[in-house]
Amino acid sequence: MGIVYPIITFPYASRILLPDGIGKVNFANSIVSCFAIIASLGVGNYATREAAKIRDNIPELRKLIKEILIINISSTIIAYILFFSSIFFIPKLQNYQVLLLISSLTIIFNTIGIGWFYTAIEEYAYITFRSIIFQVINIIFLFVFVKTKNDIYLYAFMNVIASVGSNICNFIHLKHFVSLKEKTSIEIKKHLKPIAILFGMSVAIKVYTILDSSMLGFLTNDTQVGYYSAATKINKMVLMVVTAIGGVLFPRLSYYSNKEDKTEFLNLLIKGFSITLCLAIPCTLGLHFLSKPITLLFSGENYLDSIPVMEIMNPIIIIISISNFIGIQYFLPLKKEKITLYSVIIGAVTNFSLNLILIPKYQALGAGIATVCAESCVTLFQLYKAKNEIDYKKFLLNIFEFTFASTVMSFYVVFITKNVSENFLQILYSVTGGAIIYYLILLILRNKIVLDTTKSLANNLKKNRGKNND
């Protein structure tokens, strides 16, 4: 749904609101994100890790939930005080007050949503179901109510509901797992130091993930923000899928780390890292050659200037996939979050510095170049720090096979883009045919990841058939 929802909504919204309207909404979202960092305090990863460790101990889990909620509610109040002060006293933001107020609803929804708890106990079916329900409702409302470029506020509100509206259900649903009414002792102090480290990490990450849109808004105009938003929309969708495996593995890796089961920890880490690269490499190459038809189909001819930005930013799919896996899935379960903190600080400083230099001259393209450079610095630093603990030689054969298969696939994609004129058909034939070619080449090469996955799927099908026969 992370892919399907924007594929359905963004082409419609981008044509109704145009680059200027999309730019306004995304500028407001980027500003609100700054205060959302303060509200969240980096609690998500920390709470997920700690809850995953004690998931079988209900009294301790109940105690942890209360402690984290107290910390989170306190930080949310501080965030809102700073937010309201900013929108009333910073002249640039006064023109966006209504949009900012609408977008700011995400702050309180994220706090009461306690999504980290459901991730920690691996309740993925519930997370998926409630998200899909809200997104489907939102799609219907979008097509019914957003008709002109003047409906920008309604569009912004629908985005909030689609992304975090289901968090209300999270808080209500919590009673099925733990009771918050029972009295327990509260210990806040022990959480503050690790949360402070992860808060620093969250700040640094957000600096170079939202800084581009914010600095574009301040240094250029809403149209350039609109171009940048269109260019990064597909990248983010693909990244969501590629890095999704990390979100699933994190609580399990934390569990193994707490049990000091090094064998299972490393086996799962290596398998997850390989699957991530298996997805990231072909997605990066495929997206590069499909940048034009994707932009024309999903955004329209008004966004042609976003194509070079999208092309220059496609490598971040591989770059962020690697840094996400090492920085989050490896260092955090082992309580080495300081290394991740240092890496993202390097990225934030790099991004901010390059934005100041490149945006005034190259506008949206400059912001894209700055992001790629910043993400590269983060990944290289993490790879260097983990070199003595992770045997990268184990991945070399897989990387070679993924790259070779992706290159062959790319020739097919280029052939399709040259010989098929309609944008939708270019994408359809390229994605379906390219995926088949990529899979078959890896099968011929006897790639272990693909063989294991194929065998697992075959076994599941046999089991399901056996159940049906019974």
SS3 of 16-42: HHHHHHHHHHHHHHHHHHHHHHHHHCC
Angle at 367 between CA 288 and CA 346, to 5 degrees: 105
Compute the average pLDDT of residues 61-83: 88
CA neighbor of 77 nearest in space, from 44, 53, 111, 45: 111
CB-based contact 232:313 (threshold 8 Å):
yes
First to last CA, the chain: 33
What is the predicted pLDDT for the residue at 386? 85
- Each residue of 16-53: pLDDT tens digit? 888 788 888 888 888 888 888 888 877 877 888 888 77
Length of the chain: 470
Place of tokens 């407001």: 28
What is the predicted pLDDT for the residue at 208? 63
* Alpha-carbon torsion (109, 113, 114, 118), positive or negative: negative
- Token reading at 271: 């398998």
CA neighbor of 37 nearest in space, from 169, 202, 255: 202
Q: How many CA atoms lie within 13 A of 49 on its CB side?
A: 22
Rounded Cα distance between 84 and 243, Å, is 34
What is the predicted pLDDT for the residue at 173? 79
What is the C-alpha R_g of the chain? 23
CA neighbor of 121 nearest in space, from 43, 47, 63, 68: 47
pLDDT band at 78 (very low <50, low <70, confident <90, very high): very high
- Each residue of 368-416: pLDDT tens digit? 899 899 999 999 999 998 887 777 777 788 889 999 999 999 999 999 9
Least confident piece of the model among 167-181, 189-203, 323-337: 167-181
DSSP 301: G
The pLDDT > 90 percentage for the chain reads 17
Compute the average pLDDT of residues 87-92: 85
Res. 297: pLDDT tops 80:
yes
Q: Which position has the higher pLDDT, 107 or 298?
A: 107
- Token reading at 350: 């790099």
- Each residue of 306-339: pLDDT tens digit? 889 899 999 999 998 888 888 888 888 887 878 8
pTM, two decimal places:
0.71
Where would I find the beta strands (DSSP E) of 220-361? none
